[in-house]
Amino acid sequence: MAEPKRRIAFQGEHGAYGEEAVRALHGPQVESVPVLTFRAVFESVAEGRVQGGVVPVESSLGGPVAENVDLLLEHDLQITGELSLRIRHCLLAPPGRTLDGIERVLSHPQALAQCAGYLRRRGILPLPETNTAIAARRVAEEAPPRTAAIASRMAAELYGLAVLDVGVEDSPDNHTRFVTLGPAPERTWTRRKTALAFTVENTAGALYRVLSAFSSRGLNVARLESRPQRRAWEYVWCMDVDGALEEPRVREAVEAAQGACITLRVLGSYGVA
């Protein structure tokens, strides 16, 4: 008897970039499970309704996806893998429409921001939608006049839309970092990273002492950002360090940093594709 497929949640509809990331990270053998919100991805994993989840955490053009960074801090779930996905946006409309006839476009706010220059040059009004694939489905089902969607070519195929233009993002170097929660995918990784979240006293040199625990051991801090806490003007720092927690110098650096922090939590030590 064949084993049931592992179910992996993503935000949006079938055809979303999140589903592409699920397949790229976990392979085609898993079942992609669309849910309405990013919070629903985390809750579905935490409550065991799915075996894992995939969410975006940073865009090369739009910066961090703040909601998902905060959800990582809120939930006790481990990051178990990361993927940098090349995002290639398409302008989609019902068959028979032409590019010159488009006046409005629906898409996720991040996608609209990534295509802002293109839309401005063509005089197309951006209208936010909760997800790129949801925008594509809405345009396909409702066929609003003079309206298109920005989404993936996969979404065009799923919803029977015509591709009016390809590569409408403003930069050819448009990537999104996705992370997976739950069991680690069975795949080959190119390198390893460790993600941390910590708080320090608001005093001179407090952050420096944490960072020096890693720099003194020759470890690269790949990312550092702050997120506000519930108390005014107090922050939690999120940091990615190259290297696995199983490596002695990474483990030693984390232990040394812990002594300089009020709190320190390992969000995951995982492979990067």
Could you tell me the sign of the dihedral formed by the alpha carbons of 155, 157, 160, 165, in that order?
Answer: positive
Active-site residue, 198 included: no
10, 38, 178, 214: which is the annotated catalytic residue? 178
* Distance in angstroms (rounded) separating the CA atoms of residues 251 and 243: 10
- In angstroms, the first-to-last Cα distance of the chain is 32
176, 180, 194, 199: which is the annotated catalytic residue? 176
User: Which residue reads 């995002």 in tokens?
Assistant: 87
- Cβ neighbours of residue 162 closer than 8 Å, sequence gap 6 or more: 92, 93, 94, 95, 96, 97, 156
* Distance in angstroms (rounded) separating the CA atoms of residues 224 and 265: 15
Active-site residue, 263 included: no
Phi, psi of 99 (to 5 degrees): -60, -40
* Distance in angstroms (rounded) separating the CA atoms of residues 18 and 109: 15
Annotated catalytic sites, by residue? Answer: 176, 178
